[in-house]
């Protein structure tokens, strides 16, 4: 109903319980981020029936969004593109309703706690089997901020020798050292 009368809400930072309440009464979730992993906000918005309109980034987003089916992606920084999608949804409430339904169904089908638990259990079983067989190989992780830990950097980040760690060896100020 908000898209029909053109209202937009930007409440700023809110406590989590208020965010969930707002997702219940909104039509669209807009994420203009330049970098994300798999945004929990995306999954929560879809679970509440919001149409996701999100930046097209190399992340978990393409695993979730089927363009035009359960959401929309827009190139990073293309704010006119975001406006165009929102205007299209406002002009075509039947499209908004159809995509919102499919967004919700995507979460119900793929992102339940039970399904995630099954996937973790399978990962543990496979890793254990690989360890027993001697075929397990941990991929090197990239360490770029000490207080965050081992995470993947934004795609456009320039990597230097001191960012890379592999096993018990790491580069520190250009010299190979052992921990």
The model's confidence at residue 111, banded by pLDDT at 50, 70 and 90, is: confident
In this model, does residue 141 exceed pLDDT 70? no
Q: Which residues contact 149 (CB under 8 A, 6 or more apart)?
A: 143
* Local structure of residue 161 (DSSP, 8 states): G
What's the order of all strands across the beta sheet hosting 175-178? 165-166, 169-172, 175-178
Q: Which residue has the tokens 């149409």?
A: 51
Per-residue pLDDT reduced to its tens digit, 9-31: 777 888 988 988 888 888 999 99
In angstroms, the CA 49 to CA 119 distance is: 24
In angstroms, the CA 145 to CA 141 distance is: 12
pTM, two decimals, is 0.66
Per-residue pLDDT reduced to its tens digit, 63-87: 999 999 999 999 999 999 999 999 9
Helix or strand run (H / E) with residue 22 = helix 16-25
The model's confidence at residue 151, banded by pLDDT at 50, 70 and 90, is: low
In angstroms, the CA 143 to CA 140 distance is: 10
- Partnered with residue 165 across adjacent β-strands are 170
Record the tokens describing residue 109, joined without a space.
Answer: 């089908």
């Amino acid at each position: 109903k908000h898209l029909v009368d053109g209202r937009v809400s930007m409440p700023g930072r809110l406590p989590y319980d208020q965010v969930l309440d707002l997702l219940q009464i909104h039509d669209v979730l807009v994420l203009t981020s330049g970098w994300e992993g798999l945004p929990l906000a995306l999954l929560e918005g879809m679970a509440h029936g919001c149409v996701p309109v999100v930046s097209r980034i190399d992340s978990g987003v393409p695993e979730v969004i089927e363009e035009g089916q359960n959401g929309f992606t827009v190139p990073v920084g293309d704010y006119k593109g975001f406006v165009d999608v929102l205007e299209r949804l406002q002009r075509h409430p039947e499209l908004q309703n159809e995509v919102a339904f499919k967004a919700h169904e995507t979460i119900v089908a793929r992102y339940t706690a039970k399904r995630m638990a099954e996937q973790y259990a399978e990962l543990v079983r496979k890793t254990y089997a690989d360890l027993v067989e001697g075929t397990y190989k941990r991929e090197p992780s990239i360490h770029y901020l000490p207080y965050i830990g081992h995470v993947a950097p934004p795609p456009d980040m320039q990597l230097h020798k001191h960012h890379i760690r592999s096993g018990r060896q790491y580069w520190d100020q250009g010299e190979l050292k052992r921990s």
